[in-house]
Amino acid sequence: MRVSECRLRRRVRFYEVDGAGIVHFSWFFRYMEEAEYELWRNAGLRSAALPGIGLPRVAASFDYRRPLRFEDEFEACIQITSIREKTIAYACTLTLAGETVAVGTMTIACVRTTAGEPMRAVPWPAEIVERFEVAPAQT
């Protein structure tokens, strides 16, 4: 089975908000990474345990539509939007009670991590690429 998307339900924690009870913008990137981690788990992979391979983020952005607040229960839906020789791109939509809160994107690269050498982009190993597919376009 190939995986193309993952949905994650999450509740805003106290330590994620400011004094006004609003989630700090930086947490949205963490929410996207939590959904990404679950996507990889659903594919039978552990992104943090790939010997000799690193997955740096080479691009990331968010467009914010409304705030999340302490104890809001929201959903993060991450989808694979492209798979290229050395990168995978995602789109992530955060929703609260069916309303879009924020929309983000992130691109990760596959790099070789060899001690004493600089990271270098390399093609995705076949055993990783065969577990994923691009999500169908939303209509």
Active site residues: 18
| Residue 44 exposure: Cα atoms within 13 Å on the Cβ side | 9
* SS3 state of residue 15: helix
CB under 8 Å to 5, separation ≥6 — which residues?
39, 77, 78, 79, 80, 135
Asked whether the beta carbons of 35 and 6 are under 8 A apart, the reply is yes
d(CA 2, CA 25) in angstroms, rounded, equals 32
